Structures are given as C-alpha cells and as structure tokens.
Amino acid sequence: MYAIEATGLTKSFKDTTAVDGIDLLVEEGELVAMLGANGAGKTTTLMMLLAVTEPDAGEIRLLGHRLPDERVRALEQVSFAASYLDMPYRMTVKQVLEIAARIYDAPRSRVGHVAELFGVERFMKRTRAQLSSGQKTLVGLARALVNRPRLLILDEPTASLDPDVAQRVRETLRRVQAEEGLTLLVTSHNMHDVERLCRRVVFLSRGRIVADGSPGEIAAHFGSDSLEDTFVKVASGGEAR
C-alpha cells in the first residue's frame, strides 16, 4: 500500500508555477527526503499533501484515502510538524500534548510516552515563553507523534536544534519508524540529516522532480561527491550527468 500517491500535482500562484506536474509515490514504511532550494516547491507540495492547499490539477491519496473527499479519515492517521509552527501562547507542554491526543483520539498514555521519547517530560509544566526554540521544536515533534501516525510529514524538523539534539531526534525517528512502520516524508536543508535519516531522496527544482533515488544514486546522477554538492549543483541550475 502507498502512504502517498500523488499524480500530476500542479499549483500556480498568479504567474508563478510553484509545483509543475509532480508524480510522487511513497510506500508505507519508507523514509523519504524532499530536497530543493528555496522556492523549489517543497512547502507548497507538503501543503497540498496535507489538504491545506488545493492543487490546480492532479490527484492525491493518503493511505488509500482520496483528498479532499476523505480528508478527515486520511488526516486522522497523518501528522505534521514544522520549524515555522509554534506552541500556543500560555499553554503548558502537557496541555499541548493532551489537546493533540484528544483531537486525534489517542490514549492519554501516549502523552507521557511521546514526552519521554523526545525528552520533554522535564518541562511538561512550562509554557512557550519558558522554552528555548529547540525545546519548542522537540515539543512539536512529540505532539506530532502523539497519535501514532502512519504517515509523518516534517518540514525542516531539526532547523533550530543543536547538533547533539538533532542527532538524538534522528535516532528517535529511526527507532519509531522501525518499531511502528511509520512512513516519513521530510524536507530539510541539512544534508547531514537527510543522509543519516532517509533512504530515498526526491530533488525538486522549479516545481518539478529532477531526481529520485538513494542519496548515493542521486549524487552519482549529478556527478557529485556528496548530497551537499548535489544540492548546490541543482540549486544553481546544474544538469544531471
């Protein structure tokens, strides 16, 4: 079964085509990174996959449920976290996790479990103002896993984390993926993150998929030594070898 089946996804804003006929199939249990320079169409693609933005053309199925008709049934099994989202004002970490558990009908025991998973159990009573940006990112990740999602979509998940914490997050995500068969779609500008976490990389440039394969395959495809070199090459308009 596919966790994501997107065919012919297209989205334009006025005169700009942000996403131009993307076809993306992600099997359940895959760890996929979506890379591309700023403006390549990553976030627009994610917003369409989450039914937040409607595509101009194309079809999306998440875990077999067609969007937007079966939006609720699909999104009950999907979660999302991003570096640009924040915690609500004045709510404690515990309350944020409890509300998420209620929205997704998750057992309350999951609150303690995910808090422990990301090491946020130490500041369950703190509010947004009492947390660093890295700690808030960890809370966002814990919140995203509270419903034991089958598909987790992350937009720049480790953007504000120290290297050691980012490393721990990657390990945690890999462990959850191995234990629960989670599907992960992640965007990142951190190539280190991607190489360590994902087995498949999808490169976007000007709204199109320009490469799709393992990090090694992608690098070879562009004649680069590393994913980072590939990123620079694609971002500056380089062609495949």
Partner 1 sequence: MSLRRVGAVYRRHMYVAIRSFPRILDTTMWPFVDLLLWGLVTVYLRDQHVRLAAPVSFLLGGLLLWDIVFRTKNQVALPFIEEAWSRNVILVLASPLTATEYLSGAMLWGLTTVSIGWGLMAIAAWALFAFGVFALGPPLVAFMLALIVFGVALAMFVLGLLLRFGEEAEIMAWGLAFMVLPFSAVYYPVTVLPGWAQTIAATLPTSHIFGAMRTVLAGSPAPWEQLVIALALDTVWLAAGFAFARHMLLTLKRRGYVTRFI
Positions touching partner 1 (CB under 8 A) are 11, 13, 18, 43-44, 47, 50-54, 71-73, 75-76, 78, 80, 82, 84-92, 95, 98-99, 102-105, 127
* Minimum CB distance to partner 1, residue 143 (Å): 8
* Minimum CB distance to partner 1, residue 173 (Å): 19
CA 204, CA 226: separation in Å to the nearest integer? Answer: 17
* Minimum CB distance to partner 1, residue 21 (Å): 17
* Minimum CB distance to partner 1, residue 103 (Å): 5
Residue with tokens 């079966």: 70
CA 69, CA 57: separation in Å to the nearest integer? Answer: 15
Residue 45 or 190: the one with the smaller Cβ distance to partner 1 is 45
Q: State the helix-helix crossing angle for 93-103 and 109-117, rounded to 10 degrees.
A: 120
Residue 132 or 214: the one with the smaller Cβ distance to partner 1 is 132
Closest alpha carbon to 80 in 143, 151, 153, 30: 153
SS3 label, residue 7? strand
Residue 44 or 135: the one with the smaller Cβ distance to partner 1 is 44
Residue 127 or 177: the one with the smaller Cβ distance to partner 1 is 127
For CA atoms 42, 128, 109, 160, the dihedral sign is: positive
